[in-house]
């Protein structure tokens, strides 16, 4: 029996300022999936994700979160129960690490003691150092540390769904890899349903359990990383998957031959 | 020791002047902030409104401070009359209210501009995150946008505070006691200690407030609660100190008005001394603008002051012709009674008219005794006048009556005009007849055989509410006809001499001694 779908798009289209951004999207995300939305810039990836917590509105069709049509849901409540990791990290510069992480808890009315305990827990969860980082301000952290705080903030209110908009885009390759693996680990450990936007096919292949490729506002491919890597489908998808495949082959050569 | 005496005098007035200054400037600043912050918030998401609001406040900023303050007086006077008519409750249009409103308008631009800049300059990624984590519009504003804009907003508030405290010195001419009283009085009575004292006190207050606001701002930014508390306490202390003299000062029964020149300061002091000798409490409202003072009297906001018949003849009756002294006096008194219910108690005995004057030696060389004689030689001569003389009806009347035309006309500050005549740099000056420096520089006042210049008799005017006040009128009656032009010139000259004896109070005491001595001699 398939897992129940946590997020579903039913014939969704979006027109922004007279410009069609999304067209006829139908998609169901199952409980526990790690879905990567892959596509070139301007493909409509971010709009698609923003429909889920109503940062954007669909012009046609319906978006459901845990079975409820988002149009009837309170957008503020919706955003507070869905974790969000921003592309530009988006930490509040005038708040400490602890205050940034606790912001949604504060909005939900948690008392200070409960917030502090949860913050300590989360700092450990994203592998930051309680003593060193808790009371720092964002500008005193490295890029990787900042996005770890961003992830902790998204997870604070124990959401079942986490949305990530190119979360590792601004990071160096080593930090990117470490944080990516940690995020995937948290996804598994906490039983989350994660939707991640990326334009990096390798990242999608390595982290996601399912990849949806979007181009020109339409879904042009949808499958497991394994399926997409090995299928002979749409030429753009094949081209997209060439990159990780070539990288993998080159690495295999290097590690085997040493040349 | 006279510097010490002047400093002591200045210090004695400090609680009153500083208190008035702080009250008016901080109220204006608070009102300005209360207006401009909501306007800024309203206009962040409305570019058209923002453009309009910023343009309007920029326009306000271009109006010179003195003009803006003066414009509010007639406006409020109209409103007060309307309110008295409609609701039966009037309010004082003099002093505090117009000053606060004008200064508050002045403070709009820096606060508004900085608030808009601070709020629109926030990193869009941060604003998006605020919405994305589930903040309402209001929460995003209070928890994220305002705290981030705070340093820029505070910088605007600090700029406004410095401007308002500086500009508040200009509220003296519309009847608000402020540190400007030192400056206006000092400039008119040549008391440079007063001028400097006023400037330094205003600058010191501005720096102190700026420093305290900076402390609050840094404290908020760096989360040093102690700094915020210290800064707030400092501001609270200033407010308390400013309020204190206002409560403890006994309310004087009579307010004596004085315009912005030295003779008026002396006459106001003389009137105050007469009233207090009669057991009546009185206080002075000095440095009132010429346009404000008559309205203030008519509205019972001051009780008594000295004006000049020719001023009212020209400015209120709009007459451009000249008539004999008695005719002008009668017409002015009738007009004041019928149109303003103001009582003209009588003439003091001297005129402070415009007159053409020349150094005695030069006049004798040229054989000039009257303006008619002057017309003959004028094309070789230079004339100097104050800033308004050459645009006044008197000058037009002189030229029409005598056909005089000078080689050159120069506009000068009166302080420099007389020495220039004494030094021969100009040949003729448009002098005031009661001016002490006419004697000092040995000038002769030229006759006006065709009566082109209207008479300017000094007259004592009483507010409508005091028309039946016997105590007041009896206390002032001894001054009527008691001051001839020689006495007034001598008094004005003493006032420019410097030293302790030159203060308006000392000169007024000397005048009274002279008046009583002369009366004794004639008896």
Residue of B nearest to A78 (CA): B134
pLDDT at A204 over 80: yes
Tokens encoding B369: 């005794």
> HSE on the CB side for B319, CA within 13 Å?
18
Tokens encoding B414: 């009166």
Q: Among A23-32, B210-219, B223-232, B267-276, which is the least confidently predicted range?
A: B223-232
Calpha distance B17→A64 (Å, rounded): 70
Q: Which residues contact A100 (CB under 8 A, 6 or more apart)?
A: A91, A92, A138, A149, A153
Interface contact A170, partner B, CB < 8 A: no
Q: Phi/psi at B367 (nearest 5 deg)?
A: 70, 35
Single out the residue of A107, A174, A176 nearest to residue A148, CA to CA: A176
Give me the pLDDT at residue B2, please.
65
Give me the pLDDT at residue B521, please.
66
Average pLDDT over residues A237-247: 85
Q: What is the pLDDT of residues A53-81, one digit of tens each?
A: 999 989 999 999 998 898 898 999 999 99
Average pLDDT over residues B172-192: 81
Q: Which of B129, B139, B143 sits opposite A86 (nearest CB)?
A: B129
DSSP string for residues in A76-98: HHHHHHEEEEBTTB---TTS-HH
Q: How do strand B457-462 and strand B343-351 relate by DSSP bridges?
A: antiparallel
Whether B171 contacts B287, CB under 8 Å: no
Unique residue bearing structure tokens 């645009």? B391
pTM of the full structure: 0.72
Burial (CB count <10 Å: 0-12, 13-18, 19+), residue B335: middle
Whether B179 contacts B164, CB under 8 Å: no
Interface contact B134, partner A, CB < 8 A: yes
Query: Distance of CA B108 to CAs A46, B39, B204, Å?
Result: 41, 10, 23
> HSE on the CB side for B40, CA within 13 Å?
28
Give me the pLDDT at residue A82, please.
94
Strand order in the sheet with B457-462: B282-285, B254-257, B304-308, B457-462, B343-351
Residue of A nearest to B222 (CA): A94
Percent of chain B at pLDDT > 90 equals 34
Calpha distance B162→B25 (Å, rounded): 10
Chain A residues inside the 8 Å CB shell of B147: 94
DSSP string for residues in A205-216: HHH-SEEEEEET
Percent of chain B at pLDDT > 70 equals 95
Q: How confident is the model at residue B245 (pLDDT cuts 50, 70, 90)?
A: low
Q: For B279, left (φ over 0), alpha (ψ -120 to 50), or beta?
A: left
Beta bridge partners of A29: A7
Provide the b/e sequence for A11-23 (b: ≥16 CB within 10 Å).
ebbbeeeeeebbb
Single out the residue of A247, A210, A242, A220 nearest to residue A31, CA to CA: A210
Provide the b/e sequence for B371-398 (b: ≥16 CB within 10 Å).
bbbbbebbeebbbbbbeebbebbbbebb
| C-beta pairs of A217-224 under 8 Å, 24+ apart in sequence | A217/A14, A217/A20, A217/A21, A217/A22, A217/A23, A217/A25, A217/A43, A217/A44, A218/A22, A218/A23, A218/A24, A218/A25, A219/A25, A219/A26, A219/A27, A222/A27
Which residues of B352-448 form beta strands (DSSP E)? 354-359, 382-385, 408-411, 428-432, 443-445
pLDDT at B260 over 90: no
Give me the pLDDT at residue A5, please.
84
Chain B residues inside the 8 Å CB shell of A107: 133-135, 139
pLDDT at B197 over 80: yes
Q: Do the Cβ atoms of B136 and A76 come within 8 Å?
A: yes
Q: Which residues contact B240 (CB under 8 A, 6 or more apart)?
A: none
pLDDT at B155 over 80: yes
Calculate how close chain B gets to A80, using CA atoms only, in Å.
5
pLDDT at B25 over 70: yes
Q: Do the Cβ atoms of A107 and B128 come within 8 Å?
A: no
DSSP string for residues in B223-278: T-HHHHHHHHHHHHHHHHHHHHHHHHSPPPSEEEE--SSHHHHHHHHHHHHHHHHT
Interface contact A227, partner B, CB < 8 A: no
Interface contact B223, partner A, CB < 8 A: no
pLDDT at A101 over 60: yes
Calpha distance B498→A224 (Å, rounded): 99
Average pLDDT over residues A70-98: 91
Interface contact A76, partner B, CB < 8 A: yes
Calpha distance B4→B344 (Å, rounded): 40
Interface contact B61, partner A, CB < 8 A: no
- Chain A, 98-127: which have a CB under 8 Å from a chain B CB? 103-104, 107
pLDDT at B77 over 80: no
Q: Among A39-53, B47-61, B206-220, B416-430, which is the least confidently predicted range?
A: B47-61
Interface contact B131, partner A, CB < 8 A: yes
Residue of B nearest to A106 (CA): B135
Calculate how close chain B gets to A174, using CA atoms only, in Å.
24
Give me the pLDDT at residue A258, please.
53
Query: Distance of CA B21 to CAs A76, A231, B169, B255, B277, Å?
Result: 49, 83, 7, 19, 30
Q: How confident is the model at residue B248 (pLDDT cuts 50, 70, 90)?
A: very low
Chain B residues inside the 8 Å CB shell of A87: 125
Q: Do the Cβ atoms of A89 and B128 come within 8 Å?
A: no
Calpha distance A221→A211 (Å, rounded): 8
Interface contact B218, partner A, CB < 8 A: no
Q: Among B174-178, B274-278, B328-332, B401-405, which is the least confidently predicted range?
A: B174-178
Interface contact B126, partner A, CB < 8 A: yes
Q: Which of B131, B134, B148 sits opposite A104 (nearest CB)?
A: B134
pLDDT at A2 over 60: no
Calpha distance B302→B294 (Å, rounded): 9
Calculate how close chain A gets to B51, using CA atoms only, in Å.
24
Chain B residues inside the 8 Å CB shell of A76: 134-136
Burial (CB count <10 Å: 0-12, 13-18, 19+), residue B513: exposed
Give me the pLDDT at residue A7, please.
93
Interface contact A84, partner B, CB < 8 A: yes
Unique residue bearing structure tokens 């592998």? A127
DSSP string for residues in B98-156: HHHHHHHHHHHHHHHHHHHHHHHTS-HHHHHHHHHTT--HHHIIIIIIHHHHHHHHHHH
Tokens encoding B119: 């709020």
Q: Which helix (H) or strand (E) holds A68?
A: strand A68-69
Average pLDDT over residues B102-114: 89
Calpha distance B132→A104 (Å, rounded): 10
Q: Do the Cβ atoms of A86 and B125 come within 8 Å?
A: yes
Residue of A nearest to B132 (CA): A79
pLDDT at B203 over 90: yes
pLDDT at B307 over 70: yes
Q: Which residues contact B75 (CB under 8 A, 6 or more apart)?
A: B98
Is the ipTM higher than 0.85? The answer is: yes
Q: Which of B125, B133, B147 sits opposite A79 (nearest CB)?
A: B133
Q: How confident is the model at residue B316 (pLDDT cuts 50, 70, 90)?
A: confident
Residue of B nearest to A89 (CA): B125
Average pLDDT over residues A138-149: 91
Interface contact B142, partner A, CB < 8 A: no
Give me the pLDDT at residue B247, please.
47
Per-chain mean pLDDT for chain A: 89
Tokens encoding A51: 């429909």
Chain B residues inside the 8 Å CB shell of A104: 133-134
For the four alpha carbons of B75, B81, B87 and B90, in that order, the dihedral sign comes to positive
Q: Which of A84, A88, A89 sits opposite B133 (nearest CB)?
A: A84
Chain A residues inside the 8 Å CB shell of B148: 92-94
Q: Do the Cβ atoms of B125 and A84 come within 8 Å?
A: no
Give me the pLDDT at residue B1, please.
38
> What count of CB pairs under 8 Å joins A to B?
52
Whether A118 contacts A125, CB under 8 Å: no
Give me the pLDDT at residue B480, please.
92
Residue of A nearest to B148 (CA): A94
Q: Do the Cβ atoms of B134 and A88 come within 8 Å?
A: no
Give me the pLDDT at residue B189, please.
67
Q: What is the pLDDT of residues B466-506, one digit of tens each?
A: 988 999 999 999 999 999 998 999 998 888 776 777 888 89
pLDDT at B289 over 90: no
Average pLDDT over residues B214-222: 86
Average pLDDT over residues A244-249: 84
How many residues are present in chain A? 259
Q: What is the pLDDT of residues B342-357, one digit of tens each?
A: 999 999 999 998 889 9
Interface contact B300, partner A, CB < 8 A: no
């Amino acid at each position: 029996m398939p897992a129940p779908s946590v997020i579903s798009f039913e014939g969704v289209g979006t027109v922004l300022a007279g410009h069609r951004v999304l067209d006829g999207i139908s998609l169901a995300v199952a409980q526990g999936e790690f879905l990567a939305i892959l596509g070139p810039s301007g493909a409509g990836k971010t709009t698609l994700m923003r429909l889920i917590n109503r940062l954007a509105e669909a012009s046609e069709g319906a978006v459901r979160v845990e079975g409820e049509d988002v149009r009837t849901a309170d957008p503020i409540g919706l955003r507070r129960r869905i974790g969000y990791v921003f592309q530009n990290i988006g930490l509040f510069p005038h708040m400490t690490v602890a205050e940034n992480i606790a912001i949604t808890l504060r909005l939900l009315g948690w008392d200070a003691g409960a917030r502090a305990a949860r913050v300590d827990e989360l700092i450990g969860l994203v592998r930051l150092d309680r003593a060193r980082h808790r009371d720092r301000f964002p500008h005193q952290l490295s890029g990787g540390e900042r996005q770890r705080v961003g992830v902790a903030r998204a997870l604070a209110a124990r959401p079942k769904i986490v949305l990530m908009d190119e979360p590792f885009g601004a990071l160096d390759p080593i930090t990117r890899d470490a944080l990516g693996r940690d995020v995937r680990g948290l996804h598994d450990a906490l039983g989350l349903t994660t939707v991640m936007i990326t334009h990096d096919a390798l990242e999608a292949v390595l982290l996601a359990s399912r990849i949806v490729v979007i181009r020109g506002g339409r879904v042009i491919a949808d499958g497991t990383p394994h399926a997409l890597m090995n299928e002979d489908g749409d030429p753009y998808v094949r081209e997209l998957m060439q990159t990780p495949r070539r990288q993998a082959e080159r690495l295999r050569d290097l590690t085997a031959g040493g040349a | 020791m006279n510097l010490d005496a002047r400093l002591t005098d200045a210090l004695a007035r400090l609680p009153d002047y500083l208190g008035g200054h702080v009250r008016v400037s901080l109220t204006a600043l608070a009102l300005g902030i209360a207006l401009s912050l909501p306007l800024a918030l309203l206009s962040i998401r409305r570019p058209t409104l923002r453009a309009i609001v910023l343009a309007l406040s920029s326009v306000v900023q271009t109006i010179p401070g003195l003009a803006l303050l003066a414009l509010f007086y007639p406006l409020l006077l109209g409103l007060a009359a309307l309110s008295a008519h409609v609701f039966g409750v009037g309010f004082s249009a003099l002093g505090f209210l117009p000053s606060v409103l004008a200064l508050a308008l002045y403070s709009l631009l820096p606060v508004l501009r900085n608030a808009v800049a601070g709020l629109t300059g926030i990193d869009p990624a941060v604003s998006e995150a605020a919405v994305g984590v589930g903040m309402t519009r209001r929460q995003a504003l209070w928890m994220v946008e305002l705290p981030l804009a705070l340093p820029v907003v505070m910088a605007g508030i600090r700029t406004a505070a410095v401007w308002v405290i500086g500009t508040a010195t200009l509220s003296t001419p519309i009847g608000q006691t402020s540190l400007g009283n030192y400056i206006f009085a000092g400039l008119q009575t040549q008391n440079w200690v007063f001028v400097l004292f006023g400037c330094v006190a205003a600058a010191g207050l501005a720096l102190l407030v700026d420093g305290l606001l900076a402390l609050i701002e840094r404290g908020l930014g760096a989360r040093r609660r102690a700094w915020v508390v210290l800064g707030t306490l400092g501001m609270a202390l200033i407010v308390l100190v400013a309020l204190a003299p206002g409560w403890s000062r006994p309310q004087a029964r009579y307010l004596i008005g004085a315009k912005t020149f030295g003779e008026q300061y002396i006459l106001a002091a003389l009137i105050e001394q007469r009233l207090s000798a009669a057991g009546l409490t009185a206080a002075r409202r000095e440095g009132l603008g010429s346009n404000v003072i008559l309205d203030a009297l008519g509205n019972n906001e001051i009780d008594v002051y000295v004006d000049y018949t020719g001023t009212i003849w020209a400015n209120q009756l709009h007459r451009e012709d000249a008539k004999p002294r008695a005719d002008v006096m009668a017409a002015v008194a009738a007009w004041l009674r019928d149109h303003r219910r103001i009582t003209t108690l009588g003439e003091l005995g001297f005129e402070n008219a415009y007159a053409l004057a020349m150094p005695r030696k030069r006049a004798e060389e040229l054989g000039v005794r009257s303006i008619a004689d002057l017309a003959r030689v004028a094309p070789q001569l230079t004339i100097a006048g104050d800033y308004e003389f050459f645009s006044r009806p008197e000058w037009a009347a002189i030229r029409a009556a005598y056909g005089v035309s000078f080689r050159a006309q120069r506009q000068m500050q009166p302080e420099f005009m007389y020495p220039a005549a004494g030094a021969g740099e100009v040949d003729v000056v448009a002098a005031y007849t009661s001016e002490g420096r006419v004697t000092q520089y040995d000038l002769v006042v030229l006759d006006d055989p065709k009566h082109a210049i209207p008479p300017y008799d000094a007259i004592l005017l009483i507010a409508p509410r005091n028309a039946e006040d016997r105590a007041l009128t009896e206390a002032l009656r001894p001054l009527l006809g008691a001051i001839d032009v020689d006495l007034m010139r001598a008094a004005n000259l003493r006032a420019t001499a410097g030293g302790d004896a030159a203060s308006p109070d000392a000169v007024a005491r000397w005048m009274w001694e002279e008046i009583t001595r002369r009366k004794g001699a004639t008896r």
